Chain A
Amino acid sequence: MTTNTTRVPAIEVENLTVSFGPRPALLNVSVTIEQGLLVGIIGPNGAGKSTLVKSILGFVKPDLGVVRLLGKPIEDAKGRLAYVPQRGSVDWDYPITVYEVAMMGRYPNIPWWRDPGREDREIVEKALEMVRMSDFKDRQIGRLSGGQQQRVFMARALAQGSDILLLDEPFAGVDAATERAILDVLERAKQTGRTLVVVHHDLATAAEYFDRLMLIKQRLYAYGTPQQVLNQELLSEVYEGKLKVFSGMEKSEECRA
């Protein structure tokens, strides 16, 4: 990564409005995410988290507003962003190894008449190393634990060579130890200067995991450090009627401190 790109924000969202009917899914959302951060998107169910992700991916056309990746409009920024979908849509019995899945990340760069070159293989090895899956590279993907499977798909995203990674609920349905392992990978990807944006649903761990949080419910309620975002007033406004849960949670945090 060259020094002149580090100045440009990784993701800029400007006055974004997206609607699928009379009620907009996102309304007047503006946010600037600097490079090299680990960012969590939080908000209640139906708050527009996935619509925001789809807008950043360019899957939905906004009514109004623009999204820029590394200073370029999304149409010109193909390949700058890699997406890690939720687990579940994959046939885990498919006859394919860890290494081959990671190599799929290189497919956009390999013309059909050529085999993967040495450079591709090196990138894949490096990506597998980063997610600590090198030892399993010849293993069929069904013979891995849930957290390992998640890491393989992160390796695939890393192999794409994108500067920005978008992860949809990577912590959904994994145990605490696995969560740690995944977080470890995210941290290390961040060390290489990548920007990671993660859809997250667990408020209890949000403060601990992320450098910045984005709290949305149709509109952007807050973007900033966890201390700025996770305050009682904002949360009770966004998670209306579920206030008790959070006051209880904060208390338990106080006890720990």
Chain B
Amino acid sequence: MLDLFFAAFLAPLRETFFQKALIGGSIAAIVCSVVGCLVILRRMAFLGDALSHAMIAGVAGGYLFMKILFGAEAHAPAMLIGSLIAAIVTVASIGFVSRVSRIKDDTAIGIMYTGVFAGGVVLVSVFRGYIHIDLMHFIMGDVLGVADSDLWVAAISAGIVLSILILFFRHFQLTSFDPVMAASIGLPVTLIDYTLTTCVSLVVVSAVSMVGVILVVGLLITPAASAYLLSDRLDRMMILAAIFGVTSVTGGLYLSMWLDSSGGGAIMLFCSLQFIIVLIFAPNYGLLSRWLRLRQALPQQLVEDILVETSRPENGLTVDQLQQKILKGKSVLKKAIKRMARDGLLEIKDRTVLLTASGAQEAHRILRAHRLWEAYMSHVGLASNSEIHSTAHKLEHVHDEESVDYLDDLLGHPIYDPHGAIIPQSDSHCSVGGVCSLSYLRDGANGEILEAPENLRQMGLRPGVGIRVGRRKENVAEWPVFLNNGSELVLDHKSADGLLIKITSVSS
């Protein structure tokens, strides 16, 4: 067992080529991922792809330049500088084309990079006698054959890029978030843009020798995308992306050892798998949590239907009885009841579902909305008698307090709905200790006048006077009130609205 572990994990570490691949790959991955965060936030992924392809022209150019002028074979610094120049020329020409013509960015990128890439391919094939560049090597990369010079290139460009990003973090953050504001406070937005694309070129150049032209864009954006799903802050996203980059390289290298596969391929495969796992399991933006949230969410209508049905009989309902009324699957209903019990709306005693005090209050509110909507429909003559109930059943879920109060007022605060059932009073207005206008109150409420308009004061309805509300005639909008001194007054709707009462007691 231990032997197996040793063979699988420790043995490769003793190999020099593996060590170099691990170090070089990790450096490249860290800096790629960190820059990649800005790349995906700016939606420049396609540009990363373009830059890596454009490089081939620069590599060939640099090679040719040194070979012809100095006779040097495969001069690494020259090839590096050549590819940087090619990348920057590509970026500049993309910017130029999209700025001076109506051609959009994405089209300009497509045109320019394929042009530069094609130039490189032609250059390499025409001068194949002079240039010894293996196109396949360039396209696929060779992480397990990393040379010392590659390591140096990676380390130096990583150092430069990371320093720039850390020093000017706020500049990059602002220009990628709100370029207009950045320009307005005097940041050199264009310069910052070019700096960012130069950084992208640098990291792409340093990573291409390891993972190849095609896969480098994956190393740039995939770890950053994984981190994006896990963090809500740019600095944390960058740190996480760097970690994902390193784990991709490490995991991928082991994978390539065990499977004896191409290094670059294994790294990107591992990186993609890592992304898929994050996509599924990410706590906030992951598929699993999304699915769970959707599953957890109870439809508000079901909750309200259960409340109203349970409020009807005196001593509760069994689940079976409830199911007959609501016509939903038993498991759905049971789950809803459990959740509502947990939220304190229901309680379950001896297999019977009962409303708690707060559940009863909710049911009361919905019932009031339902019956007022029925009264409203009959008032405006919109629905036939048979439709009224079913339409009100849908409308009772529209129970925003202000809107329901408006209906109540519009209808003259009716007491009975069209079927003759009593419309419940508003709990929030009409409970003891509350303050409301007289028009909301009914038979048996006692209180003290808090505010009264001038014309009512002259009738003896002065602030501080105690009153009792008398019985109204059916739905007639007239409010009989008994004053402390025994006199009786009948107020119309407008006067009743104007009289503010502090409720002291309610006798039913």
| Chain B contacts for A63, CB-based, 8 A | 394-395, 398
Determine if A203 is an interface residue (Cβ-Cβ < 8 Å): no
| Chain B contacts for A85, CB-based, 8 A | none
| Chain A contacts for B391, CB-based, 8 A | 64
Given contacts A27-B406, A93-B102, A219-B406, contact A64 B399 (CB under 8 A): no
Is the beta-carbon distance between A28 and B410 smaller than 8 angstroms? yes
Determine if B377 is an interface residue (Cβ-Cβ < 8 Å): yes
Determine if A218 is an interface residue (Cβ-Cβ < 8 Å): yes
Taking each of B398, B402, B407, B410, which has the highest tally of chain A beta carbons within 10 Å of its own beta carbon? B398
| Chain A contacts for B410, CB-based, 8 A | 28
A-B pairs with beta carbons under 8 Å apart, 14 shown: A14-B382, A15-B382, A17-B398, A19-B398, A22-B399, A23-B400, A24-B398, A24-B403, A27-B407, A28-B376, A64-B383, A64-B395, A93-B102, A142-B102
| Chain A contacts for B67, CB-based, 8 A | none
- The A-contacting residues of B in range 131-189, CB under 8 angstroms, are none
Determine if A9 is an interface residue (Cβ-Cβ < 8 Å): no
Distance, CA A93 to CA B382, complexed state (A) = 49
Distance, CA A13 to CA B282, complexed state (A) = 48
Determine if A58 is an interface residue (Cβ-Cβ < 8 Å): no
Determine if B397 is an interface residue (Cβ-Cβ < 8 Å): yes
- The B-contacting residues of A in range 1-48, CB under 8 angstroms, are 14-15, 17, 19, 21-24, 27-28
Determine if B380 is an interface residue (Cβ-Cβ < 8 Å): yes
B-binding residues in A (CB < 8 A): 14-15, 17, 19, 21-24, 27-28, 63-65, 93, 142, 218-219
Q: How many residues of B contact A (CB 8 A)?
A: 20
Is the beta-carbon distance between A24 and B400 smaller than 8 angstroms? yes
| B316-358 vs A, Cβ < 8 Å mask (1 yes, 0 no) | 0000000000000000000000000000000000000000000
A-binding residues in B (CB < 8 A): 102, 104, 300, 376-377, 380, 382-383, 391, 394-395, 397-400, 402-403, 406-407, 410
| Chain B contacts for A15, CB-based, 8 A | 380, 382
Those 4 A-B pairs whose CB atoms lie nearest each other, nearest first: A23-B400, A19-B398, A93-B102, A15-B380
| Chain A contacts for B376, CB-based, 8 A | 28
| Chain A contacts for B382, CB-based, 8 A | 14-15, 64-65
| Chain A contacts for B406, CB-based, 8 A | 27-28, 219
Is the beta-carbon distance between A23 and B403 smaller than 8 angstroms? yes
Is the beta-carbon distance between A64 and B400 smaller than 8 angstroms? no
Distance, CA A93 to CA B377, complexed state (A) = 51
In whole Å, how far is A164's beta carbon from the nearest beta carbon of chain B? 24
Other than the given A24-B400, A93-B102, 6 more pairs (CB < 8 A) read A14-B380, A14-B382, A24-B403, A28-B410, A64-B395, A142-B102
Distance, CA A218 to CA B403, complexed state (A) = 9
Distance, CA A97 to CA B89, complexed state (A) = 35
Distance, CA A218 to CA B398, complexed state (A) = 13
| Chain A contacts for B394, CB-based, 8 A | 63
| Chain B contacts for A19, CB-based, 8 A | 398
Distance, CA A15 to CA B411, complexed state (A) = 14
Given contacts A15-B380, A65-B382, contact A23 B102 (CB under 8 A): no
| Chain A contacts for B399, CB-based, 8 A | 22
| Chain B contacts for A14, CB-based, 8 A | 380, 382
Distance, CA A64 to CA B383, complexed state (A) = 9
In whole Å, how far is B401's beta carbon from the nearest beta carbon of chain A? 9
Is the beta-carbon distance between A22 and B395 smaller than 8 angstroms? no
